[in-house]
Structure 1
Amino acid sequence: MKKFVFLLTLVLSFNLQAELISQDDYGFEIKIEKTVPVSQAKAYQQFLNVGQWWNAEHTWFGRSENLSIEAKAGGCFCEFNGDKQALHMLVSYVHPNNEIRMIGGLGPLQGLGVHGGMSWRFVKIDENKTKIIFNYKVVGRMEGGLKTLGPVVDGVLNIQIMGLVSRVRQS
């Protein structure tokens, strides 16, 4: 719980551009949209290089370069550090250059027994501009309700998306 309070404090210190679509005791939905000045294929490929843009403070073992996304149904969004391993989410749908969907709970959500569905869409605006549309829906039950976790998860995911946007703009 101390970790959640710390994360909530961190989140509240940022000017968030994410949108917490809905939240109640049994779940929440987050939607984030960002436009990047690269082609759809380039944005998608950079997304797959998750170890280059995911914030290391939000990994199990403290090194984002240990992260990988296997872009196939049944593939793993995983973290490997020697014998230590974490399956962050399971890939459930792949439409190359357009969308990847994943299921599971990120980070501390895994231990709560909640379930989430995540979608990363890459929408072509023109040859050199792409809109990234991110959605994460989490449902389940925990003592005290999930309502308090929505803003925390929203803030952490906004940090990740801003990392992706920054990395895409550098490429």
Structure 2
Amino acid sequence: MFRFIITMAAILGAYPAQAEVSNTADNGFTVKHIELVNGSSEEVWKTLIAPARWWNGDHSFSGNADNFYLVPQAGGCFCELLRTTDEENIKSAQGSVQHMRVIFAENNKALRLSGALGPLQGEAVIGTLTIGLQPDGDKTAVSFVYKVGGYMELPIEQIAPAVDNVIGEQLTRLSALFAPPPEPETEPESDDDQSDDAE
């Protein structure tokens, strides 16, 4: 259940400050990430609202991304079921976690959620994640901007780069689902083939 907190604690010591932390203050910070995704805004939106497909299960309380779900309308929940599976492969919910709450949703264009992620959940802070989708030809520019403010006992200089890394990772995982398949490797002609052609 506390895997999310343990993972974030490990990240705190593993990642130095990064350029994507665009602003810091005594009471908060902002992180920004943008990627050009190889898909239409409609395709990206359908994947975006299915976080079980791209949000890393390591950043969860249950340790399983399959337990994530999102209701893409105002008041909707980006939540996680705390489920267990018994010996007869029967799943049962032992509880649930609200990671964020939807405060704005416009299909294929923007999604804004309010919530303090990970260890921030135990602090007196507000976090706002704004996800924007901007068509660019047959691709989509996707931006993740997460703003955190309020009172926290966690050191800003440590938690800001850690959160930056987590937010950036999720956008990278979302984008990777639309990566074009690698082109098949062509085998070079053998010497025998070349000699046959010469005859």
Q: TM-score, normalized by length of structure 1?
A: 0.89
Separation in structure 2 between the aligned mates of residue 5 and residue 63 of structure 1, nearest angstrom: 18
Q: TM-score, normalized by length of structure 2?
A: 0.77
Conserved 8 A contact 1:24-1:145? no
Superposition misfits of 4+ residues, deviation over 4 angstroms: 1-5
Q: Whose relative contact order is higher, 1 or 2, with alpha carbons under 8 Å and at least 6 apart?
A: 1
How far does residue 5 in structure 1 lie from its aligned partner after superposition?
A: 4.6
How many residues matched? 166
Is the alpha carbon distance of 1:33 and 1:84 closer, same or farther for their aligned partners in structure 2, counting shifts above 3 Å? Answer: same
How far does residue 83 in structure 1 lie from its aligned partner after superposition?
A: 2.2
Is the alpha carbon distance of 1:4 and 1:59 closer, same or farther for their aligned partners in structure 2, counting shifts above 3 Å? Answer: closer
Query: Residue 162 of structure 1 corresponds to which residue in structure 2?
Result: 172
How far does residue 169 in structure 1 lie from its aligned partner after superposition?
A: 2.4
How far does residue 4 in structure 1 lie from its aligned partner after superposition?
A: 4.8
Query: Residue 107 of structure 1 corresponds to which residue in structure 2?
Result: 118
Gaps of 5+ in 2: 84-92, 182-199
1:7 to 11, 15, 20: 11
Conserved 8 A contact 1:27-1:147? no
Q: Which residues in structure 2 correspond to 1:118-137 (within 5 Å)?
A: 118-126=129-137, 128-137=138-147
Is the alpha carbon distance of 1:47 and 1:2 closer, same or farther for their aligned partners in structure 2, counting shifts above 3 Å? Answer: closer
Conserved 8 A contact 1:39-1:124? yes
How far does residue 28 in structure 1 lie from its aligned partner after superposition?
A: 0.4
Conserved 8 A contact 1:70-1:77? yes
| Identical columns (%) | 31
Q: Aligned to 1:169, what secondary structure does the other structure show?
A: coil
RMSD: 2.0
Conserved 8 A contact 1:25-1:147? no
